[in-house]
Amino acid sequence: MQTPSHVPRVAKRAGFLRRFSRHRGAVIGSAILALIVLAALLAGVLYPEDPLRIVGPAETWPFESWRYPLGTDALGRNIASLMVHGARATLLIGLSASLAASLIGIAVGAVAAWFGGWVDEVLMRVTELFQIVPNVVFILTIVSILGPRLQNTIVAVALVSWPAVARLTRGEFLSFKEREFVLACRTTGLSTFRIVTGEILPNALPPVLVVSSLVVAGAILYESVVSFLGLGDPNVASWGRLVGEGRSLIRESWYICAIPGIAIMLAVLALNLIGDGLNDALNPKLRHTD
């Protein structure tokens, strides 16, 4: 039997799921993302061999051979194997970069809003400094300096993605900082850490979660650009790298670019649809419609 204290939490979760499920685009996006995640999880089962290994004749068209359902690329590698293994790298970079950017952004925004004054000024100027340089140029520069490795791409994408989270977090903290419940916590002698993490942060998180989902979509696009230009990890299968390697054959074997290009488009579309659904489900102005 549930205790009364658990009932409001269950009700909130049920309300969130109800609002989210009413958003058709979010449901479609969740289904697409679930298929991509499933393909990534089953990559080792479906294609246990090295996806970068040459397995057949070059430029075999899709459905021309049952062994290569999506065909082969210019080197004779199985595109289906490259796609499912590439989904792993895509999701890993997207989720890792989004998590790192969110942690940095939340920390910077919270500190800037809470302490204010010169601390706020310095942190906001640093944030603006990261926003001045074009993101793609910044990422390519960092990857070129650190080297074409997967973790370096994650670091580069995280460094250009956290300013948006920081600005949003700062705005949310400023709006809650002078609320009655926060002032009451100060009056009772609660520590700054407990007030920030236990009272303000949970209330400020909903819009940050929405932005974080969009950061994942941006990270996937950035990784695709890096791999397309040949700066991605050469030992890891990547959708962007497959597009880049197939661009010279786009007239004769356009499917080599089209298949990973469609996958990138669907992944980004799914995450944007989920972001829209999260925004509607977490928006307090829409909760009265339940």
Q: How far apart are CA 263 and CA 210, in angstroms?
A: 22
Strand partners, 159: none
Instruction: Tell me the average pLDDT of the chain.
Output: 85
HSE (CB half, 13 Å, CA atoms) of 234?
3
Q: Burial, 30: exposed, middle or buried (Cβ in 10 Å; 0-12, 13-18, 19+)? A: middle
Model pLDDT, residue 34: 94
Q: Which two tokens stand for residue 30?
A: 């969740």
Q: How far apart are CA 117 and CA 271, in angstroms?
A: 37
Q: Which two tokens stand for residue 17?
A: 């799921």
Interval 118-166: pLDDT, tens:
999 999 999 998 888 888 888 999 998 988 888 899 999 999 999 989 9
Taking CA atoms, 236 is separated from 50, 89, 240, in Å, by 10, 7, 11
HSE (CB half, 13 Å, CA atoms) of 26?
20
Token match 């359902």: residue?
69
Sign of the C-alpha dihedral computed for residues 11, 16, 17 and 18 taken in this order: positive
- Residues 182 and 204: beta-carbon distance below 8 Å: no
Q: Which two tokens stand for residue 273?
A: 């649809």
Q: Using H for helix, E for strand and C for coil, what is the string for 129-191?
A: HHHHCCHHHHHHHHHHHHCCCHHHHHHHHHHHHHHHHHHHHHHHHHHHHCCHHHHHHHHCCCC
- Residues 264 and 239: beta-carbon distance below 8 Å: yes
Domains along the chain with CATH numbers: 12-37+86-289 (1.10.3720.10)
Long-range CB contacts (within 8 A, 24+) of 177-185:
177/113, 177/114
Q: How far apart are CA 156 and CA 164, in angstroms?
A: 15
Radius of gyration, alpha carbons of the chain: 22
Q: Which two tokens stand for residue 43?
A: 């990559």
- Residues 105 and 163: beta-carbon distance below 8 Å: yes
Q: Which two tokens stand for residue 35?
A: 């298929």
How confident is the chain (290 residues) per 10-residue block, as mean pLDDT? 48 70 87 93 90 88 88 90 91 90 91 88 91 88 88 90 90 83 78 79 82 88 88 87 87 90 93 86 57
Q: How far apart are CA 104 and CA 163, in angstroms?
A: 9
71: CB partners within 8 A, 6+ apart: 59, 60, 61, 62, 63, 64, 79, 253, 255, 256, 259
Interval 251-280: pLDDT, tens:
888 999 999 999 999 999 999 998 888 887
Model pLDDT, residue 261: 92
